Structure 1
């Protein structure tokens, strides 16, 4: 039986009230591939565009996205996040975004970490689209989650 579908085949929020609260951590990653000329322009301009500082703005957007996850994704529980960190690293023509989220609760924070990297990546796209629309957001994925019924670690390295 699917956990988010009731006997009437309608979606429902899973009850987590009886679960034991544990420390939950999740880390996700996204990669934004920039055209060579855009990456070069950004490096030369100190990662500034007419819209402002790309990396700083995307960092803040990622944190805001993680915090807003229950408003964006149906059936996600509102969580009191204890920590949310978004790191953006420039690797050649790519911006690698990693978001790590933690809380003490009865449900995991992987959707918050995935939302954080997704919103940060979309912000990079938005701030750079005047230079090119050939920007590719790729490899949005969960790297690690712990503290629940089952831990996940893809073995991938993160920034």
Structure 2
């Protein structure tokens, strides 16, 4: 490999890592902005999605479940300290530390809110020049309960 080929390869690795970081940022943003169709589109059609030991049949089922579970409840998801490795021309792996906050409108049947901490382990695949999530395993290390909120007391 000559010097120019090496520079081109290294540039592709850097651009790929940056694209994967943006992909994961969109994942968190789409969950919080309730953009569930956009969320499902971040995955390969046959992606494996496992969260807290639950395996989802498809990325769409995963996104629809988030929509149905959280409704308009406010949430805040963050990913930290990405460790991304390009494993082939169109494949990569990643590990992310995560933190999330989720509360529900207060009521007799409201699920309990939480402040969670954990880790995402993922694989990515470049399809038609675009990086997508090919598999995700979310493991939570800790979940602290949060009080639910009363929407009528929230300032607009």
TM-score class, shorter-chain normalisation, is 0.3 to 0.5
When the two structures are superposed, what TM-score results if normalisation uses the length of structure 2?
0.40
When you count strand as a share of all residues, which structure comes out higher? 2
- RCO greater where, 1 or 2, for CA within 8 Å and sep 6 or more? 1
